[in-house]
């Protein structure tokens, strides 16, 4: 009998998981609170399939940088200290300290050493290489169109210290099979002439020819449609209330319909949906759902920003996807648009756009590309990235203090690399659910007896 699986969440991770499970012969239902796929974290991300962007946020240099950025509202890494300390901010705001952020911050600091950073980099490169391969297979299988460009990804540097700090990780990635290369300023401009305007400021670059870019939201939408054509059921406008749990087994998931306009619960009774197995792919919202089961997922929402600009002069706007390491921004050409994304703000589940951080993005775009894009019409967006302290996602079988939960699987915590790692983690979880060993060297959770 074909196993029935419920996937919780219809972002890029949830939809790729549904696709791989359906290819493996499972009957799949996807539950999503929003009215369509990829309307939250996957909606307007940086657009990069970036194996080369694998240096963890948690590394020996980060604590010093975080202190240096402490009082900068436009800092690439911003901790909301009022939230940490429980100090009053806006009127009516809860002034209790954010203990989840305290715990996560302490775990993050424990990862900020050379040994842990290297181990985490290895995990991220291995999964990234595998995921890039699986994405290529999906693209060849389906012919899916999502403004894909296979012109590589370039890290460029305008600060000597930042460039020197990138050389060792680049060599380490080469040892792991990632084709990232250190290149000269001349070669960087030759590969991407759109950098000519800041040529005098450049001090060096690295280039990964096999990395890619593309619109994650468009990919997810179209893959969801292909899933539906193959029999996958999507329950949109459906909120998940709780998992029905007994004796190390999930008996069902309690859901209720919500209004697509304001996500308010409709005046209807909840219902229990049941399957043979369940996959948790709810990103930042994953920990709250499984806490009652005795599972403490070390995931905290990191608010990322993006801005999308209409392209005015195509020849002066990049086709090679770029990473501006000093400013922690990425630039991806998506058809006639330029997507710029980056930074991380630890401020709970707050989704308000901070104008200072938005303006900082536009300021940097102006400095790099001048008026090649329409800076008067930025489309700003923010979303919550599910960050683990190590930056390594949590993929595998669910375990609590009593042991393994026999029919709950985890595919969450992908942080800033959800688009990069989605296809590989989806294929891996599908293999695990079939009792197979995934074809990637990665520390999957809960597989040991």
Residue 106: inside a domain: no
96-110, 287-301, 389-403: lowest mean pLDDT where? 96-110
Looking at residue 2, its pLDDT comes to 67
Q: Indicate whether 333 belongs to any domain.
A: no
Q: How many domains does the chain have?
A: 1
Residue 449 lies in a domain: no
CATH (domain of 394): 3.50.50.60
Average pLDDT over the chain, rounded to an integer: 94
Bridging pattern class, strands 4-8 and 277-280:
parallel
SS3 content of the chain, % helix, strand, coil (to 5): 35, 25, 40
Q: Is the pLDDT of residue 65 over 70?
A: yes
Is 223 part of any domain? yes
* Domain membership flag for residue 37: yes
Evaluate whether 430 touches 31 at the Cβ level (below 8 Å). no
The pLDDT tens digits of the residues spanning 127-181 come to: 999 999 999 999 999 999 999 999 999 999 999 999 999 999 999 999 999 999 9
Q: Look at residue 66 in the predicted model and tell me its pLDDT.
A: 83
* Span 353-404, pLDDT tens digits: 999 999 999 999 999 999 999 999 999 999 999 999 999 999 999 999 999 9
Instruction: Indicate whether 94 pLDDT > 60.
Output: no
- 329: closest CA among 75, 7, 139? 75
Q: What is the pLDDT of residue 225?
A: 98
Name every residue whose Cβ is closer than 8 Å to that of residue 93 and which is 6 or more positions away in sequence. none
pLDDT at 414: 98
With cut-offs at 50, 70 and 90, classify the pLDDT of residue 51. Answer: very high
Q: Is residue 198 part of a domain?
A: no
Residue-level pLDDT at 262: 64
Q: Which two tokens stand for residue 241?
A: 């209330």
3-state secondary structure of 290: helix
Question: What tokens appear for 413 in the block?
Answer: 């915590």
Q: What is the CA radius of gyration of the chain?
A: 21
Main-chain phi, psi angles of 362, to 5 degrees: -65, -35
Bridge partner list, 157: 204
Residue-number span of the structural domain to which 423 is assigned: 4-42+217-297+390-434
Q: Can you tell me the mean pLDDT for 211-225?
A: 98
What are the CB-based long-range contacts (under 8 Å, 24+) for 58-64? Answer: 58/108, 58/109, 58/111, 58/112, 58/116, 58/117, 58/120, 58/389, 58/390, 58/391, 59/112, 59/114, 59/117, 60/112, 60/113, 60/114, 60/117, 61/165, 62/112, 63/109, 63/112
Assess if residue 263 is contained within a domain: yes
Q: Does residue 315 belong to any structural domain of this protein?
A: no
Percentage with pLDDT > 90 across the chain: 86
Label the pairing between strands 212-213 and 238-245: unpaired
Report the chain's terminal Cα–Cα distance, integer Å: 25
Which pLDDT tens digit goes with each residue over 15-37?
999 999 999 999 999 999 999 99
């Amino acid at each position: 009998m074909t196993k029935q699986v419920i996937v919780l969440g219809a972002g890029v991770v949830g939809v790729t998981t549904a696709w791989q499970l359906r290819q493996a012969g499972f009957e799949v239902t996807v539950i999503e609170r929003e009215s369509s796929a990829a309307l939250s974290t996957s909606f307007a991300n940086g657009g990069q399939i970036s194996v080369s962007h694998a240096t963890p946020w948690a590394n020996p240099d980060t604590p010093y940088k975080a202190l240096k950025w402490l009082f900068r509202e436009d800092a690439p890494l911003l901790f909301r200290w009022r939230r940490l300390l429980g100090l009053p901010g806006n009127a009516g705001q809860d002034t209790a300290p954010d203990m989840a952020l305290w715990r996560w911050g302490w775990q993050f600091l424990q990862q900020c050493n050379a040994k842990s950073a290297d181990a985490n980099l290895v995990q991220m490169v291995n999964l990234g290489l595998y995921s890039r391969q699986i994405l290529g297979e999906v693209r060849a299988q389906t012919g899916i169109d999502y403004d894909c460009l296979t012109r590589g990804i370039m890290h460029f540097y305008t600060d000597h210290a930042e460039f020197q700090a990138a050389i060792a990780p680049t060599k380490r990635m080469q040892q792991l099979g990632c084709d990232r290369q250190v290149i000269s300023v001349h070669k960087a401009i030759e590969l991407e002439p759109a950098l000519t305007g800041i040529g005098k400021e450049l001090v060096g670059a690295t280039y990964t020819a096999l990395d890619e870019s593309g619109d994650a939201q468009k990919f997810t939408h179209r893959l969801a449609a292909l899933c539906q054509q193959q029999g996958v059921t999507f329950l949109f406008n459906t909120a998940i209330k709780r998992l029905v749990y007994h004796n190390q087994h999930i008996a069902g998931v309690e859901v209720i319909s919500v209004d697509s306009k304001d996500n308010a619960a409709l005046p209807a009774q909840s219902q229990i949906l049941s399957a043979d197995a369940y996959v948790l792919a709810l990103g930042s919202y994953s920990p709250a759902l499984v806490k009652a089961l005795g599972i403490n997922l070390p995931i905290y929402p990191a608010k990322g920003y993006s801005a999308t600009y209409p392209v005015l002069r195509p020849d002066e706007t990049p086709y090679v996807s770029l990473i501006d390491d000093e400013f922690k921004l990425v630039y991806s050409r998506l058809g006639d648009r330029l997507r710029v994304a980056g930074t991380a703000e630890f401020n709970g589940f707050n989704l308000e756009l901070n104008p200072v951080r938005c303006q900082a993005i536009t300021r940097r775009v102006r400095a790099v590309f001048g008026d090649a894009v329409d800076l008067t019409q930025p489309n700003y967006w923010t979303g919550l990235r599910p960050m683990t302290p190590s930056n390594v996602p949590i993929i595998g079988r669910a375990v609590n203090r009593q042991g393994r939960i026999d029919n709950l699987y985890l595919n969450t915590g992908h942080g800033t690399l959800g688009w990069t790692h989605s296809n590989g983690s989806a294929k891996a979880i599908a293999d695990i659910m079939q009792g197979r060993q995934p074809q990637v060297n990665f520390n999957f959770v809960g597989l040991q007896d």
